[in-house]
């Protein structure tokens, strides 16, 4: 008869629940720009664990997660920053980027002594769990002059935009004022001429109305 030794990793039943998200879940970024978002992992388990965030690099988009091997408190939340840098010659398009988290869960490790060799055999002291989240990155063309002006106006707010619009209208009308006045005078002169033509008699003279009042 031989002794049996169980050296398989110990697991929790039911398995612990972890959820990884990004804030925001999708972003728009222009070529040549750089943005930072937040990675969040929530634990719904009363166990000791740690997490390692990582991702795959893609052409023209550089991803950097500075935090590494973060301890997760029981029923707790941990966060890490994710820096996204798009190169200036990146092609405008939409990209779906996978974000990974490798969660290490501490388990109970009990040594077992072999009856044949006398050596101690330990089962694994931790269990690994992988979670994935998807981030949508939309790369826009570099900002042109009009985009830059609109960006400034949006930063200033609606009242300032309305004031700028009013000033622009006044300047525009002011610059065209002399032309508008001449056009109005020309139109009035044309109307008077046509009215006088209608008042002319058969002899070609302008009909005259006596200012004397009839009693």
Measured at the CA of 26, the angle between CA 24 and CA 31, to 5 degrees, comes to 115
Q: Cis omega (within 30 of 0) on the bond before 24? A: yes
Go through 2-32 and write b for each residue having 16 or more CB atoms within 10 A of its CB, e for each that does not: eeeeeeeebeeeeebebebebeeeeeebbbe
- Over residues 118-176, the pLDDT tens digits come to 676 666 667 788 999 999 999 999 877 777 677 766 766 666 555 555 555 555 555 55
- Report the pLDDT value the prediction gives residue 46, as an integer from 0 to 100: 85
Number of H helices, E strands in the chain: 2, 11
Does the domain at 18-142 match CATH 2.60.40.10? Answer given as yes
- Over residues 7-62, the pLDDT tens digits come to 565 666 777 889 999 999 899 999 999 999 999 999 988 888 899 999 988 889 99
Provide the whole-model pTM.
0.58
The domains of the chain are located at 18-142, 146-198
């Amino acid at each position: 008869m031989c002794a049996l030794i169980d050296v398989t990793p110990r697991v929790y039943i039911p398995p612990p629940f972890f959820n990884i998200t990004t804030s925001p879940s999708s972003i728009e970024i222009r070529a040549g720009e750089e943005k930072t978002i937040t990675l969040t992992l929530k634990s719904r388990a009363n166990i000791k664990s740690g997490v390692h965030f990582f991702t795959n690099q893609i052409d023209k988009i550089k991803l950097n997660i500075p935090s590494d091997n973060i301890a997760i408190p029981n029923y707790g939340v941990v966060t890490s920053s994710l820096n996204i840098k798009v190169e200036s010659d990146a092609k405008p398009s939409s990209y779906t980027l996978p974000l990974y988290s490798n969660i290490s869960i501490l388990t109970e490790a009990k040594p077992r002594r072999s009856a044949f060799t006398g050596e101690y055999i330990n089962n694994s002291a931790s269990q690994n769990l992988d979670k994935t989240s998807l981030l949508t990155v939309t790369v826009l063309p570099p900002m042109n002059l009009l985009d830059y002006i609109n960006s400034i106006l949006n930063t200033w707010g609606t009242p300032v935009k309305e004031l700028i619009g009013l000033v622009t209208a006044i300047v525009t009308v002011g610059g065209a004022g002399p032309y508008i006045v001449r056009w109005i005078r020309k139109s009035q002169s044309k109307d008077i001429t046509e009215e006088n033509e209608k008042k002319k008699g058969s002899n070609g003279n302008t009909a005259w109305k006596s200012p004397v009042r009839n009693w």
